[in-house]
């Protein structure tokens, strides 16, 4: 009982014949071959599969592909523009907000929605804001720093230092 | 302090160079194993045991074979025909790939379904009918050693009990004598519970056997691709898969933390299936499979004792371990070290005698033990010594910092011979602890604590001053399956002065692509941005033992420097030829040779780029053309990084919720290659120290059912639980390492848990609590206080 669907991902249309039970994350990875979106768990806990659906962050492992028909999906591959990387992509690199890189796409897309809703979040708001996204490498300090950096960039303010801070 | 000798453009040692690998990761262009797409790929899913211990009476695959897309169901009987139903472990034990008659733990692999789609394979898995005859599982390791306990490993001929091995080190009699005569003896029973690395990417592979060319390409999540290639050849050579026909590719890995060192049955089954069917077979496990079946960490039951004087001098320590290894000893240790480096457990303190012993036992649980930034059991060792040191300080009524200062190995005592046989390379423990205490205002905190205690508020301060042992290791003692634990670097510089360098290690996010380039940049003056670093492809990279136990910098990092120095020697010869002077007349300054005394005369110097170009276009007669070098580095000793950590906790007197208010970590890993990357390792490692101290534990019931085998209740810390870490360094270089660097990746996970546990126990000191096993949860505090009878009235009263 396959069904042909078309999904709009990063502005491009992907048409595939799928089973209705196909998870959106699998459609994105397998059918659209956009493998930046990752799978880190089977209980909707880790957020490595986070994408934006009509601008709202969602865990794509917890949505059926057919539910996303007619919506605008953004994955990590759609973050950069012709002008260059998104401020979050720049912020994560400049502030060492990633190590293995596996949580990074989901983390950045979640942060994107966070910054659009709350352009100047406090550290605590950022920590709660990304609490649906697990990272096993960074200890989160530099992810927080990366999001603060991106926020400043998006607001057009002076960028905070990206030098690591050490106890003297 | 960390100093840089090269310009930012060169970015040699000490620069916080931004990572070369980040661009692909932030654009979703990393290449992890589940991203590998090969034509005709089949998918594998695994049927797992619902029981911890059961006989398999029958496996019925009839219905599964009717599922659309299902091509095959592989069972132990199928593998038995090729003698692949069992495989050797790193500790010379044997592990089932697929069982033929008995399952030994819940979630054990029982059969594998191969299908044309991922979903079809899962449907097939659900349709396989397995008939079991459950047996009474052995779960408690103490009970496993009782005389009437059922013998689990009936496959081992003549095996009459569940005991695996006994190990000991140190001076038994002298230590006993000291304990008999000491003024003060303290003793605690500690369990360092079973936990799991839970890298966000699980394990998986794509096994691609090409029948026509008799060649296997194995894409897999492995931290040690070369060793895996050799293991595959040893296990499957008899069916024609000899080592030159096997290419292991470890692509980008989504975190390892030791969980991707072992060979798991899933890999072997995928290879067997691809070999039999002749098509690529992809196996990617779920999180719950990863948590429930892949290598666990810890699970040491430790009796720790310390003898000392009333005024605080430590005289001896004694430790006794019962190690729960699950149903087979598959712990990823060097072969002569069944307890890994547990013998580092005399710690950062100077005393002449110690004795340690350990016994390992089989239980109906998955195998493992060595994982999760443990540096081969150093996590357990450090936890034991740091907890018992605090217990001793408590007993004699002295501040735990004062006891540490009184007993530290002093910096002029290095190289220091420990009572358990190690030669610590270097250290300055006093400086480290002083720096941490100043940063946190230790005296001020103790005053604040005294005030709070008067009001019944629970505040605790915990220390951990640890010594690590990383960089295995010297060939005299260290091997994995007989292969000596060297590592390697191969540097090739192109005519235009840009380089490619390959290593026998394998990054899983530690930033090797950046930091190895920095080492070479330091040595040759070629900008790090012009040096492409690769690891993980066994066809192209030099043989190495892989990345785990913080060994990359000590081993392959050393190899990088030495290979680069070989090239500098060649460069000197070429420069002498080009400048028409003797080699002795040349001086080196990063990136160029110049004639002595004529540093600023351009025509009297040759840049490394000019020299390299000449190596291809105008090399001296008699010299080999080209510009490349290789080095396989056999370390003379391990490196012994250290740290001084201080944790401050506040505990809610009503709910016992624990809040880490501050955590200061001063690490000393010698010379630092990239401070930004090193700090990132510390942040992540501290969070993986917080996790077992307060949240994580794999819990089994008495029937061997895992009670928290998913991320719903195996509590990996989020950004909310993780404190804002404060970090710093002291720099005490390793004297034997070519660039004075030590490993650092695992120090924070080794050092943090006892600091946190010590802080929590310190907070509860007024209520007579002397020890709590990690993870220390609000409920555990509640129970402990209830047992002490102090909950009858409110703590805050």
Place of tokens 């905070």: A160
Q: Do A135 and B200 touch (CB under 8 A)?
A: yes
Task: Report d(CA A64, CA A22) in Å as an integer.
Answer: 6
Chain A nearest-CA distance from B521, in A, is: 21
Taking alpha carbons only, the member of B253, B237, B697, B713 closest to residue B512 is: B253
Q: What pLDDT is recorded for position A1? A: 84
Are the beta carbons of A131 and B710 separated by less than 8 Å?
Answer: no
Contact yes or no for B680 and A133 at CB 8 A: no
Query: What pLDDT does residue B239 have?
Result: 87
ipTM of the predicted assembly exceeds 0.90? yes
With CA atoms as reference, report the closest residue to B110 among B257, B253, B289, B337. B289
Asked whether the beta carbons of B54 and A121 are under 8 A apart, the reply is no
Quickly state the pLDDT bin for B3 (edges 50, 70, 90): confident
Which A residues, 56 through 75, put their C-beta within 8 Å of a C-beta on chain B?
75
Q: Is the pLDDT of residue B797 over 80?
A: no
Confidence of residue B635 (pLDDT cuts 50, 70, 90): very high
Q: What is the pLDDT of residues B350-399, one digit of tens each?
A: 999 999 999 999 999 999 999 999 999 999 999 999 999 999 999 999 99
B115 is written with which tokens?
């299908």
Average pLDDT over residues B539-563: 98
Interface of A with B in 130-159 (CB under 8 A): 130-144
Over residues B279-304, the pLDDT tens digits come to 999 999 999 999 999 999 999 999 99
> How does residue B793 score in pLDDT terms, banded at 50, 70 and 90?
low
What pLDDT, on the 0 to 100 scale, is given for residue B43?
Answer: 98
Nearest-10 Cα torsion for B126, B131, B136, B139: -30
Annotation marks residue B572 as catalytic: no
Partner-chain contact B676 A99, CB within 8 Å: no
Nearby residues of B76 by Cβ (< 8 Å), 6 or more positions away:
B85, B96, B97, B98, B99, B100, B101, B111
Confidence of residue B795 (pLDDT cuts 50, 70, 90): low
The per-residue pLDDT for B796 is 53
Rounded Cα distance, B202 and B222, in Å? 11
Q: Which residues of A touch B722 (CB under 8 A)?
A: 127, 139-141
Residue A167 near chain B (CB below 8 Å)? yes
Burial class (CB in 10 A: 0-12, 13-18, 19+), B430: middle
pTM of the model: 0.98
Digit-coded pLDDT (tens) for B163-215: 999 999 999 999 999 999 999 999 999 999 999 999 999 999 999 999 999 99
Residue-averaged pLDDT of chain B:
97
| Residue B39 contacts A, CB cutoff 8 Å | no
Q: Which CATH class is domain A87-155?
A: mainly alpha
> Is B173 part of the annotated catalytic residue set?
no
CA angle B552, B553, B557 (to 5 degrees): 100
Residues of B in contact with A35 (CB under 8 A): 28, 31-32, 34-35
Name beta bridge partners: B75.
B111
Q: For residue A45, what pLDDT is reported?
A: 98
The answer to whether A138 contacts B199, with C-beta atoms less than 8 Å apart, is no
Asked, colleague to colleague, whether B33-135+203-284 and B300-472+637-792 share their fold, the answer is no
Q: Do A167 and B29 touch (CB under 8 A)?
A: no
Which helix (H) or strand (E) covers residue B241, if one does? Answer: none
**B7-30+487-633 architecture in CATH?**
2-Layer Sandwich (3.30)
Domain boundaries, chain B: 7-30+487-633, 33-135+203-284, 300-472+637-792
pLDDT given for residue B588 in this prediction: 97
Count CB-CB contacts under 10 A for residue B437: 19
Smallest CA-to-CA distance from B89 within B140, B34, B142, B156 is with B156
Quick one: average pLDDT of B656-684?
A: 98
| Cβ neighbourhood burial of B220 (10 Å; 0-12, 13-18, 19+) | buried
Chosen from A51, A75, A140 to mutate, greatest number of chain B CBs within 10 A: A140
Please confirm whether the linkage preceding B71 is cis (ω < 30° from 0).
Answer: no
For residue A104, give how far its alpha carbon lies from the nearest alpha carbon of chain B (Å). Answer: 7
Residue B664: closest C-alpha in chain A? A167
Percent of residues in chain B assigned helix, strand, coil, to nearest 5: 30, 25, 45
pLDDT band, residue A9 (cuts 50/70/90)? very high
Bridge partners for B114 per DSSP:
B44, B72
What is the pLDDT at residue B794? 60
Q: Chain B: residue nearest A130 by CA?
A: B719
B285, B374, B502, B610: the active-site residue: B374
Task: Report the C-alpha gap between B707 and B339 in whole angstroms.
Answer: 27
Calculate how close chain B gets to A89, using CA atoms only, in Å: 6
Which of 77-96 (A) contact B at CB < 8 A? 77, 79-80, 85, 89, 92-94, 96
pLDDT in tens, A42-85: 999 999 999 999 999 999 999 999 999 999 999 999 999 999 99
CA–CA min distance A165, chain B (Å): 8
| Three-state DSSP state, A136 | coil
Does B435 reach chain A within 8 Å, measured CB to CB? Answer: yes
pLDDT digits (tens, 9 = 90+) for B226-262: 999 999 999 888 888 999 999 999 999 999 999 999 9
Q: CATH 1.10.150.120 occupies which residues in chain A?
A: 87-155
- Residue B528 CB partners (closer than 8 Å, separation 6+): B10, B11, B12, B15, B17, B20, B514, B517, B518, B520, B521
| pLDDT value for B74 | 98
Burial class (CB in 10 A: 0-12, 13-18, 19+), B438: middle
Residue B89 and residue B170 in contact, taking contact as beta carbons nearer than 8 Å: no
Residues A136/B290, Cβ–Cβ less than 8 Å: no
Residue B131: how many other CB atoms lie within 10 Å: 11
Percent of chain B scored above 70 by pLDDT? 99
Q: In this structure, what DSSP letter does residue B67 have? A: S
Q: What is the mean predicted confidence (pLDDT) over B299-319?
A: 98
* Confidence at B584, pLDDT banded by 50, 70, 90: very high
Pick the closest to residue A99 from B502, B220, B21, B551 (CA basis): B21
B510 lies within 8 A of chain A by CB: yes
pLDDT for B71-123, tens place per residue? 999 999 999 999 999 999 989 999 999 999 999 999 999 999 999 999 999 99
Query: Do B26 and A108 count as a contact with CB atoms less than 8 A apart?
Result: yes
- Interface residue B27 vs chain A (CB under 8 A): yes
Which residue carries 């007197």 as its tokens?
B653
What is the pLDDT, as a whole number, of residue B248?
Answer: 98
Q: Which CATH superfamily is domain B33-135+203-284 in?
A: Aldehyde oxidase/xanthine dehydrogenase, a/b hammerhead (3.90.1170.50)
Is B657 an active-site residue?
no
Residues of B in contact with A30 (CB under 8 A): 118
Using the 8-state DSSP alphabet, how is residue A67 labeled? Answer: G
B746 is catalytic: yes
Query: Superfamily assignment of A3-78 in CATH?
Result: Beta-grasp domain (3.10.20.30)
The CATH-assigned architecture of domain B300-472+637-792 is 2-Layer Sandwich (3.30)
Candidates A19, A108, A131; nearest CB to B720: A131
What is the per-residue burial (b if ≥16 Cβ within 10 Å, else e) of A109-135?
bbbbbbbeeeeebeeeebbebbbbbbb
Reported as a single tens digit per residue, the pLDDT across B652-668 is 999 999 999 999 999 99
Of B26, B31, B35, the CB nearest to A104: B26
CB contact under 8 A, A128 and B288: no
């Amino acid at each position: 009982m396959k069904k042909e669907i078309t999904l709009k991902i990063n502005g491009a249309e992907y048409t595939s014949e799928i089973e209705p039970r196909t998870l959106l994350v699998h459609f994105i990875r397998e059918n659209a071959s956009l493998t930046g979106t990752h799978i880190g768990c089977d209980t909707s806990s880790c957020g490595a599969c986070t994408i934006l659906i009509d601008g709202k962050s969602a865990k794509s492992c917890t949505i059926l592909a057919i539910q996303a028909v007619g919506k605008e999906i953004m994955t990590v591959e759609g973050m950069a523009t012709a002008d260059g990387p998104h401020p979050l992509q720049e912020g994560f690199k400049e502030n060492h907000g990633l190590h293995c890189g596996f949580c990074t796409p989901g983390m950045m897309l979640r942060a994107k929605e966070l910054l659009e809703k709350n352009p100047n979040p406090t550290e605590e708001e950022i920590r709660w804001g990304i609490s649906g996204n697990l990272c096993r490498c960074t200890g989160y300090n530099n992810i927080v720093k990366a999001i603060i950096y991106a926020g400043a960039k998006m607001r057009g303010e002076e960028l905070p230092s990206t030098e690591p801070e050490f106890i003297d | 302090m960390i100093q840089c000798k090269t310009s930012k453009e060169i970015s040699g040692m000490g620069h916080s160079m931004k990572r070369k690998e980040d661009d692909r990761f932030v654009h979703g262009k990393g290449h992890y194993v589940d991203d590998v797409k090969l034509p005709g790929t089949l998918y594998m899913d695994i049927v797992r045991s619902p029981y911890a211990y059961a006989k398999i009476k029958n496996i019925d695959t009839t219905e599964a074979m009717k599922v659309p897309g299902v091509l095959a169901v592989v069972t132990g009987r199928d593998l038995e025909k090729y003698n692949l139903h069992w495989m050797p472990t790193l500790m010379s034990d044997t592990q089932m790939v697929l069982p033929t008659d008995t399952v030994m733990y819940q979630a054990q692999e029982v059969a594998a379904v191969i299908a044309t789609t991922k979903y079809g394979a899962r449907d097939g898995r659900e349709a396989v009918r397995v008939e079991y005859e459950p047996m009474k599982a052995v779960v408690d390791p103490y009970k496993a050693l009782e005389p009437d306990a059922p013998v689990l490993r009936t496959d081992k001929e003549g095996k009459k009990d569940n005991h695996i091995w006994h190990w000991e080190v140190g001076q038994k009699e002298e230590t006993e004598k000291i304990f008999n005569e000491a003024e003060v003896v303290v003793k605690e029973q500690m369990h360092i519970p079973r936990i799991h690395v839970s890298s966000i990417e699980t394990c998986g592979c794509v096994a691609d056997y090409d029948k026509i060319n008799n060649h296997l390409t194995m894409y897999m999540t492995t931290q040690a691709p070369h060793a895996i290639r050799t293991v595959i050849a040893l296990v499957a050579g008899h069916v024609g898969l000899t080592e030159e026909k096997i290419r292991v590719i470890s692509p980008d890995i989504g975190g390892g933390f030791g969980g991707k060192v072992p060979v798991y049955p899933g890999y072997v089954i995928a290879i067997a299936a691809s070999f039999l069917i002749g098509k690529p077979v992809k196996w990617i496990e779920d999180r719950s499979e990863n948590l429930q079946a892949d290598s666990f960490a810890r699970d040491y039951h430790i009796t720790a004792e310390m003898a000392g004087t009333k005024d605080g001098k430590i005289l001896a320590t004694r430790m006794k371990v019962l190690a729960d290894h699950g149903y087979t000893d598959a712990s990823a240790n060097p072969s002569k070290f069944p307890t890994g480096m547990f013998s580092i457990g005399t710690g950062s303190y100077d005393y002449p005698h110690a004795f340690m012993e350990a016994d390992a036992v089989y239980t109906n649980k998955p195998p493992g033990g060595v994982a999760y930034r443990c540096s081969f059991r150093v996590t357990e060792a450090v936890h034991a010594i740091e907890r018992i040191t605090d217990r001793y300080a408590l007993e004699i009524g002295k501040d735990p910092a004062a006891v540490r200062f009184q007993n530290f190995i002093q910096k002029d005592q290095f190289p220091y011979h420990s009572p358990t046989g190690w030669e610590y390379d270097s250290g300055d423990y006093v400086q480290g602890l002083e720096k941490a205490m100043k940063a946190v205002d230790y005296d001020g905190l103790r005053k604040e604590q005294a005030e709070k205690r008067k009001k019944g508020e629970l505040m605790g301060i915990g220390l951990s001053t640890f010594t690590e042992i990383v960089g295995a290791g010297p060939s005299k003692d260290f091997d994995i399956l007989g292969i000596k634990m060297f590592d390697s670097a191969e540097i090739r510089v192109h005519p235009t002065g840009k380089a490619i360098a390959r290593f026998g290690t394998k990054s899983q996010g530690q930033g090797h692509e950046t930091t190895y380039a920095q080492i070479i940049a330091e040595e040759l003056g070629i900008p790090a941005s012009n040096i492409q670093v690769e690891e993980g492809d066994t066809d192209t990279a030099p043989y190495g033992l892989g990345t785990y136990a913080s060994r990359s910098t000590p081993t392959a990092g050393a190899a990088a420097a030495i290979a680069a120095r070989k090239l500098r020697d060649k460069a000197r010869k070429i420069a002498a030829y080009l400048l028409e002077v003797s080699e002795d007349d040349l001086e080196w300054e990063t990136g160029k040779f110049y004639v002595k005394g004529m540093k600023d005369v351009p025509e009297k110097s040759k840049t490394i780029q000019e020299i390299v170009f000449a190596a291809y276009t105008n090399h001296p007669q008699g010299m080999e053309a080209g510009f490349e070098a290789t080095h396989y580095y056999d370390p003379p000793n391990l490196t012994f990084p250290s740290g001084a950590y201080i944790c401050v906790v506040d505990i809610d007197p009503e709910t016992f919720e624990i809040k880490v208010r501050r955590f200061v970590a001063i690490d000393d890993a010698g010379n630092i290659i990239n401070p930004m990357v090193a700090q990132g390792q510390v942040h992540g490692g501290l969070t993986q120290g917080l996790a077992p101290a307060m949240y994580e534990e794999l819990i089994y019931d008495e029937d061997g059912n895992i009670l928290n085998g998913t991320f719903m209740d195996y509590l990996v810390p989020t950004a909310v639980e993780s404190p804002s870490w404060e970090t710093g360094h002291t720099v005490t270089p390793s004297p034997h390492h070519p660039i004075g660097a030590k490993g650092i990746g695992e120090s924070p996970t080794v050092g943090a848990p006892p600091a946190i546990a010590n802080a929590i126990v310190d907070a509860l000191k007024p209520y007579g609590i002397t020890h709590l096993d990690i993870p220390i949860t609000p409920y555990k505090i509640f129970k402990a206080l209830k047992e002490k009878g102090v909950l009858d009235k409110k703590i805050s009263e």
